[in-house]
Structure 1
Amino acid sequence: MKKICTLMLLATAMAGPAYAGSAKVSWQEPEKFTDIRPTNESKIGFQERVIKEFDRMFDDLAKKLPDGYEWNITVTDVDLAGDVRPFFSPMVNDIRVIKDLYWPRMSFRFDLKDEQGKTVASGTEDVKDMNFLTRMGVASGHTSFQYEEQMLRDWFNKKQKEKFFPVR
């Protein structure tokens, strides 16, 4: 019984505030973005997949915000890691060449509101990761855009340390 009481007290002490903010992402003219070019799927299908996976990345980051916080993001440009090159063979489509010369970049505007709807942070960001091939980051497994995901996580964690976002 003593162990159960100790465990309950410890669990109560460790339980902090709830973290479950939300993200609302909009995409400003993705057809004009620098690089969301497909290699082996249709342009529209690839664009839809990019949007879906990046929406999920932003949702995952927003879950680290306090409960009731809303993070509104407008993506204005994406340049995926690598560069799409033609592959001169009738059997193979274009290929994406990943080299340190073609780092991932992303531009967006954001507005972060607290649970009362008050803006606590806003701005425009041009995020890039020129060292993306030298990082030891581990991909989450829910996206095929591991370099871009790591870039966004690094940006978010940096803002978190700067007290830009009120996260745990």
Structure 2
Amino acid sequence: MRNILLACSIAALAAGAVQAAEVKVQWQEPEKFTDIRPANDSRKAYRERVMKKFDGFFTEMAAKLPEGYSWQVTVTDIDLAGDIDYFAGGAGNALRIVKDIYSPAIKFSHVLRDKHGEEVISNEEKLRDMGFMHSLRSVGDNEEFRYEKQMLSSWFDKELLPKVEQYALALPKVSTN
């Protein structure tokens, strides 16, 4: 019975992966981004962790796109929620202090192509969530970069997905007769 459940789980994951669009994320000079500074980590290690996490955010969003689509994203700037306070931690331990005035922002360009390679959407996005401290979230939500993820997910669901749906509806229907 356990093997059958495992096989079904693997099949479901494989089917989900087939439904996802391919995403390629490029990072344009991340060492020059507005705020990708660590509190108590090396700059390089922290920057790599941020990039890996954001790669995951874009991959999660791409999973909602139609099968066969490809999405190219070039991130040109990030301003993480909060700001580093080098005195708040005491004894040389800096802290990232998150307040309303330190809102998250991201700039990126992107091109979405359908399964035939035709351009569906191409744009440069400049997102900033000034109300990030006022959005509802669950009590146990302590995910790293959750404010940035919420900002990106909200943009994706409200802006990009509806355009993809409109594009799909506008395509000529192919008859199978």
Give the shorter-chain TM-score range: 0.7 to 0.9
Partner of 2:83: 83
SS at 1:84 equivalent: strand
Distance 1:138 1:112, change over 3 A: farther
| Cα distance per residue 1:53-74 (max 9 Å; x no partner) | 0000000000000001111000
Unaligned runs of 5+ in 1: 1-17
SS at 1:46 equivalent: helix
2-structure distance, mates of 1:160, 1:54: 17
Normalised by the length of structure 1, the TM-score is: 0.82
Contact 1:137 1:150 in 2 (8 A): no
2-structure distance, mates of 1:156, 1:138: 21
Distance 1:45 1:140, change over 3 A: farther
Deviating above 3 A after TM superposition, structure 1's stretches of 4 or more consecutive aligned residues are 137-143
Normalised by the length of structure 2, the TM-score is: 0.78
Unaligned runs of 5+ in 2: 1-17, 169-177
SS at 2:132 equivalent: coil
- How many pairs align? 149
Structure with more of its chain in helix, by fraction = 2
SS at 2:122 equivalent: strand
Which one-letter code corresponds to 2:31 in the other structure?
A: E
Q: Offset at 1:137?
A: 3.9
Higher relative contact order (CA 8 A, sep 6+): 1
| CA-atom RMSD in angstroms | 2.3
Q: Does 1:55 align with 2:55?
A: yes
Partner of 1:64: 64
State the percentage of identical aligned residues. Answer: 45
Which one-letter code corresponds to 1:133 in the other structure?
A: M
Q: Offset at 1:160?
A: 4.0
Partner of 2:165: 166
